Structure 1
Amino acid sequence: MAAVASGRWRGRIAGAWRRLRNGGGAFAQGIAANFAAERDRHPLWLVVALGAGIGLYFALAEEPALWTGPAVLMGLVVAFSLWQGHGAAWLLAVPITMALGFSAASLRTHLIDAPILDAPLGRTVVTGTIAGMAGGETAERILIAPEAIANHPDRPLPRLVRITLRGEAGTLWPGQRVRIKASLEAPRGPVAPGAFDFARWSFFQGIGASGYALADPEILPAGNEGGWMATAESAIAAWRLGIARRIRDALPGSKGAIAAALFAGDRSFIPQEDLDALRDSSLAHMLSISGMHMAMVGAAMFGLVRALIAAIPYLALRIAAKKWAALAGLLATSLYLVLSGAATPTIRSYVMIALMFGAILADRPAISMRVVALSALIVLSLWPESLLDPSFQMSYAAVIALVAAFEKAKQSQLGQWTAERGFLISMVLYVGGIALTSLVAGLATAPFAGFHFGRYASYGLIANLTAMPVASLLVMPFGMAALALMPLGLEEWALVPASWGIALTLAIAHEVASWPGAAILVPAWPIGALIAVTLGGLWLCVWRGVWRLWSAPLIALIFFTSFVHRGPDLLIEGEGRNLALRTREGELLLAFARPSFSAEQWLRLAGDGRLPGEARGKKGDPLSCYKEACIGTLEGETRNWRLAWAGDRASLAEACATADILVTPLRAVHCEGPAHIFDAARLARDGATALWLRGDRILINTANAERGKRPWSRAPSIQ
């Protein structure tokens, strides 16, 4: 009987295996059939592979040798040439493109090689030429190309130094030589492991030091430093600044500040309450000169020139109106690019719009996934660091989703229904187009907004549906007219009507932002979840067959992760001057109420909308502070940990005797009591630090461990 039963089970297992194998074979055949049916979409994935190679480069713990990428690339090309007659040789296209992306990123870093200040300078004098200017609501910042920095002898000078002035810039202009007393330090790293690395961003901008002015700048006689290129850049920057100031003079207050942002790329002096309202209503994208503004300018010029040609029968019968209009649109967007300051996000938008006009000139579809892929290929090849930029991720997520929706609508009956339409249908389509665009773009950018900024705008569809017609029909046309009238001194004639649209847009933003639940705060989730959602979104948008719905599990992962992911139990600032403790209920408690960038970002990463002052621990909480000392309790699953922060020598001596975990901005010499000590020396080496309680153990991760030994992560020495 046992032998018979054993035989039955073996038969059942063998049958199940045959069914599984046959089913697996059918499944594989289905994948192969779907893959072959969409052969024309295969090249689009090579851009994804290029981005994967760039991402691999930035994920390395140490800077690779410059020859690493080209060597791998050469080996793959040789393998491809040897296997060229083999049917599977095409599979090497993906690793070859990844190697190209890796090599491009490595070469870009090597070419930048911007020196970074290696030690803080508490009091120094910077002499150089103003390369750029920007401002905030209360102070302005200048970028200086330094000629000399006092107390910094025999060391490479940073290419650019960013200095916050004590007040308004007054008579300062780009291109002027200045001498200024300032306090400088290297650009700061992430506020927590895995957070945005401002030092990396600064490195690729050429900024090697930042600080604040100790006195008003002294204007020096002009020199010949920098050559013709620097002179041209300074002249363009001065031209832009002059336009921005004339706009603000004509329109005082927030309307003028927003007009300067829209028409000159200068976001200085926009009141914080307006910025908050625009952000929480999902209208903040209107402030940055991006694809929307480029498209408006290009489309307006395209439509105007085409209409003028059509109105002149002699021209309409003899020239290709559409192509001449495309040339005019390309010229208009090129001028707008220069006027905006040609920042990298604006260049990305310009590349995409320019390719669309180029497609019209080449008699190709202007809106297609290939145009988007080609623009991404150009941008990532020239500026590989853009891959890590939130604006790149959000803009391309929106554009890819919109193009996919456009392609789907074009295939449907909607295209036939709109072939012959009257005024009423045109208006319905216009409003419906804005609604669909806002909905699709909002859904596509939501994961990135949540990851980078920790918030979603709940009523973005309503805000954009009401504000976008105002921007496209009133603000932008009159704004462009104001720029055209500015040489005649008549810009105010057009700026006043534009200000009406800006005022209405601000009213919409403040109204929508005041609604309950306008901004949904979410805690940060792991980068792996964002990568999975990105791949899922690409799978959904790039493929056209039913199998694109297989992306659902990857996209759903972001919702699952947001519920199960728990942030650190303790966060320590990179200088040891503040810390944040997570209670058993999941709430963050700050050691100090003083507003600091780190404290604000910690709360944002936790999905906490409180201000630092509201999140400070009080007496009776698991964390409380008095004078130069803090005591707290980290409540673990199996034990509690005594936490202490010491700001002076007296409290440090006491903490060394009583604490399990010690945090101090001082050097903790001869302190042997605590199990974990985070003092000035350790934090200078490791940067911002995060701790997780796991039973009787503590898991530690640091910002510098995440960053690795890279050109932008050179730790400054301790003074």
Structure 2
Amino acid sequence: MGVPARSAAERAGRGGPGRAARLRWPPALGLEAQRGHLFPWAPVLLGTGIGGYFLWPGEPSAAIWMVVCALGGVATVRALRRPEATPALAWAVTLFALGMALAGLRAHLVAAPVLGGRYYGPVEGRVVAIDRSASDALRLTLDRVRLIGRPPDAVPARVRIALHGAAAEGPPPVPGGRVMTTAHLAPPGGAAEPGGFDFRRHAWFLRLGGLGYSRVPVLAIAAPEGRWWLGLRLRLAARLRAALPGPAGGFAAAVTTGDRSGVAQATLDDLRASNLAHLLAISGLHMGLLSGFVFGALRLALALVPPLALRLPVRRLSSVGALAAASVYLALSGGNVATERAFVMTAVVLGGLMLDRRAFSLRAVAVAALIVLALRPESLLGPGFQMSFAATTALIAVFGALKDRGGSWRLRWLAPLAGLVISSAVAGLATAPVGAAHFNTLSRYGLIANLLAVPAMGLVVIPGAVLSAVLALVGLEDWGLRLMGLGLRWILWVAQWVAGLSGAQGHVVSPGSAVLPLLALGGLILCLWQGWGRCVGLLPMAVALTLWAGAERPEVLISEDGALVGVMTPEGRALSRASGAGFVAGIWLENDGDGADQAAAAGRWPQGEPAPGLRRAAWSGGKLLQVIGTRGAEKIDDCAGADLLIANVPLPVDGPCQVYDPPRLRALGAVALGPGGRLRRAEVSGGRRLWSPVPGRGGQ
């Protein structure tokens, strides 16, 4: 008998069946069944690496970076040289290492000076953005900044100034123009509480090195320069507000040019309460509706001319026209992060149409996510990225599953209505946990509001805007603006009506740090995994919801400057101040899932101060005493019968009590105390990050 020939698998393994089995072990994990469906996991792995960088305890050292690069290089070589072995796992390591490297590189590339302390004096710069703060104050972002008494290498690349009093009077400055005022500036603050949103990191990637306010009139000292479309955006926004007076004009300017300065806080509150705030931001919905309308209009127009329809690639030409319209929209809107992300996703879809590929697929979403993460790795942490890609992925997965099941509608006229209901419900379910985790609110009637408002955006507002742009060539743009105004007024009415319903907006407690990643993992498994194995995704989602339901809030919260203290009571968190430190107070109450404002929360604080500048309260760890200002500090020479002393001025006290004053809080950041005095600090315990304040750095 002859010796049987070795199988191809054995020959590939070069070591017998055992060796081949070891090299081909991915099928045991179920990866073999996913062949051809693994590419959508690429941005997930890249994002995991990006998240690894931001979660690293301290800035990674040179040795860590060498290890990361070595692992990525070895994995890449392994995947390229032995594709028959473990390519999926090797590429996973490569993408993780690449994501971590991209995030670190981006953090270093955007590095810019940050104020080391408070500054008061003349500020000069070029206006690059105008918006409104949470208190409805007009706000300017300046670049090419000059500060008196500061060398150029110590001046922030950008500063943001809120205008109050005399500074807010008169027309706003012209974008692109150079202005001067006298302002109070301070470095960006850190997280309002441990584990909370780190504004200092957010500002680092925006290159914002100083924040403040001005009550002095803003003087224009130079005409707009540089980018010509800044003036075009300004004129267009002003034209829209003039043609559509009232809230509709501000809404029109926001969705067309990205200028939100004309949107009142009351309008914004109604949109948020009704879950329609996404219609205000120029995002994937607007970019998709615009490009889709232009694509359909061009394709219909070309198809109506038989000589052109028979000789030209109508579909490709329509895609090119739609991409051109999307590019113009990107330029007019100012090109913020959300709009750039929407443009990338739209460009990928239109590129697929030009190449005769399937436009709406999980692969297209993966390509768009890879591009966005490569350009702006920090966007992974923002609610905009998370919500837009969660909605898009869920919609494609659900409609793809419905299409694969086959079947047809018995009543064809119900198909558009069913599609609208399904898409609104799926997008709402996919984004609701993300929105609730970031903003601590839940719109109970958001589905109703979206079903009533989103069709108006697609069928009335966007066509009206395009019609107005076309008719502007012959001076008849008012016809399009009137149509646009009808749709916007309907949307605003829906928002106001839904927001006025009883219990329209609910409040939820902030989840722990593991909840969103677990929800994302479960959702991705449900959408991306093939076969019945996707049901495993329900497990991490159930764990996440269980953790969220059992989330506990700190008993005591201390702001990073010691000026505000919050103590949990049976009625909710009691705040030590009824005004001042409003941003921190709002964050604490939102994270508690408390709908009260700062004044109401301050009413829960025990009444009656023992002396001016002293405020007492009780918690499970004992007695708490807050010391305000030097007058209060003069009355303290020991622990004063308190177990916990908190002060906004240096407090040299000897005694058995715990003291949290500015010298200590500068090292700790905001502080949270749990049962038994368990301490959590906002600053990174393992070391500084690039955006952390430099110890000992002074200010003017």
Paired residue for 2:678, among 699, 709, 719?
699
Mark the runs of 5 or more structure 1 residues left unpaired by the alignment.
1-27, 224-230
Give the drift of 1:80: 5.2
| Structure 2, unpaired ranges of 5+ | 1-23
| Partner SS for 1:40 | coil
Per the TM alignment, residue 625 of structure 1 is displaced from its structure 2 partner at its CA by 8.4
- The equivalent residue for 1:678 is 660
Query: Do the aligned partners of 1:617 and 1:625 also contact (CA within 8 Å) in 2?
Result: no
The counterpart of 1:687, out of the listed 659, 669, 685, is: 669
* In 1, Cα distance between equivalents of 2:300 and 2:153: 60
Match of 1:199 in 2: 200
Alignment of 1:162-241 (within 5 A): 162-165=160-163, 166-168=167-169, 170=171, 172-221=173-222, 231-233=225-227, 235-241=228-234
Letter paired with 1:183: H
After superposition, the Cα gap between the structure-2 partners of 1:270 and 1:324, relative to the gap in structure 1 and judged at 3 Å, is: same
Equivalent position of 2:68 in the other structure:
72
Q: How does 1:281-320 map to 2 (within 5 A)?
A: 281-320=274-313
Q: Which residue in 2 is equivalent to 1:100?
A: 98
CA distance in 2, matches of 1:368, 1:678: 54
Mapping of residues 474-493 of structure 1, within 5 Å: 474-486=460-472, 490-493=476-479
SS in 1 for 2:625: strand
Residue 657 of structure 1 pairs with residue 653 of structure 2: no
2:446 equivalent to 1:455? no
Match of 2:122 among 122, 125, 138: 125
Counterpart of 1:6 in structure 2 is none
Length, aligned pairs only: 667
Aligned to 1:598: 584
Question: Structure 1 pair 198/33, CA: closer, same or farther in 2 (3 Å)?
Answer: closer
Contact 2:180 2:218 in 1 (8 A): yes
CA distance in 2, matches of 1:107, 1:542: 29
Q: Which moved more, 1:532-541 or 1:675-684?
A: 675-684
CA–CA distance in structure 2, aligned partners of residues 181 and 396 of structure 1: 42
Q: Is the 8 A contact 1:660 1:673 kept in 2?
A: no
Distance 2:690 2:680 in 1: 21
1:54 aligns with 2:33: no
1:344–1:79 distance in 2 versus 1, CA, 3 Å: closer
Q: Within the alignment, does 1:633 sit opposite 2:618 as a pair?
A: yes
Percent of aligned pairs with the same amino acid: 35
1:510 equivalent to 2:496? Answer yes
The Cα of 1:351 is off from its aligned counterpart by 0.5
- State how far apart, in whole Å, the 2-side matches of 1:393 and 1:171 are: 33
Matches within 5 A, 1:542-561: 542-561=528-547
| Greater alpha carbon shift after TM alignment, 173-182 vs 489-498 | 489-498
Specify which of 623, 628, 632 is matched with residue 647 of structure 1.
Answer: 628
- Rounded to whole Å, the distance in 2 between the matches of 1:542 and 1:513 is 36
SS at match of 2:678: strand
Deviation at 1:582, TM superposition (A): 0.7
Cα offset, 1:629, TM superposition: 2.0
Opposite residue 678 of structure 1, the aligned amino acid is Y
Residue from 386, 399, 412 that aligns with 1:425: 412
Once the 2 structures are TM-superposed, how far is the Cα of residue 510 of structure 1 from its aligned partner?
A: 1.6
The match for 2:372 is: 379
Contact 2:185 2:212 in 1 (8 A): yes
Counterpart residue identity of residue 536, structure 1 = G
Given the superposition, is the C-alpha separation of residues 146 and 324 from structure 1 closer, same or farther in structure 2, using an over 3 Å criterion?
closer
Q: CA RMSD in A?
A: 2.5
* Contact 2:145/2:156, CA 8 A, preserved across alignment: no
Tell me the residue number matched to 2:560: 574
The one-letter code sitting in structure 1 at the alignment partner of 2:419 is G
Aligned 1:245-324 pairs, distance under 5 A: 245-324=238-317
TM-score by length of 1: 0.88
Q: 1:566 to 1:473 in 2, by over 3 A?
A: same
Tell me, in whole angstroms, the C-alpha distance in 2 between the residues paired with 1:110 and 1:220: 33
Alpha-carbon separation, structure 1, partners of 2:66 and 2:223: 44
Q: CA deviation at 1:600?
A: 0.9
Q: Which AA in structure 2 matches 1:425? A: R
Amino acid at match of 2:627: A
1:203-261 CA deviation, whole Å, 9 max, x = no partner? 111111111124112222469xxxxxxx443x222321221122112222211111111
Given that 1:454 and 1:523 are in contact with CA atoms closer than 8 Å, whether structure 2 keeps it comes out as: yes
Q: 1:329 matched to which residue of 2?
A: 322
Cα offset, 1:133, TM superposition:
2.2
Deviations 1:560-611 (CA, angstroms, capped at 9, x unpaired): 112211011111112211111012x372111111160111111100000111
| 1:628 Cα deviation from its structure 2 partner | 2.2
Please report how far the alpha carbon of residue 356 of structure 1 lies from its aligned counterpart in structure 2 after TM superposition: 0.5
Q: Distance in 1 between matches of 2:187 and 2:262?
A: 26
SS at match of 1:201: helix
- Does the 8 A contact of 1:162 with 1:210 survive in 2? yes
What whole-Å deviation, never above 9, does each CA across 1:9-46 have from its counterpart, x for those lacking one?
xxxxxxxxxxxxxxxxxxx9997374312211122222
CA shift digits 1:167-210 (9 cap, x unpaired)? 05626212222221111111122111111122212111111111
Deviation, 1:619, is 6.7
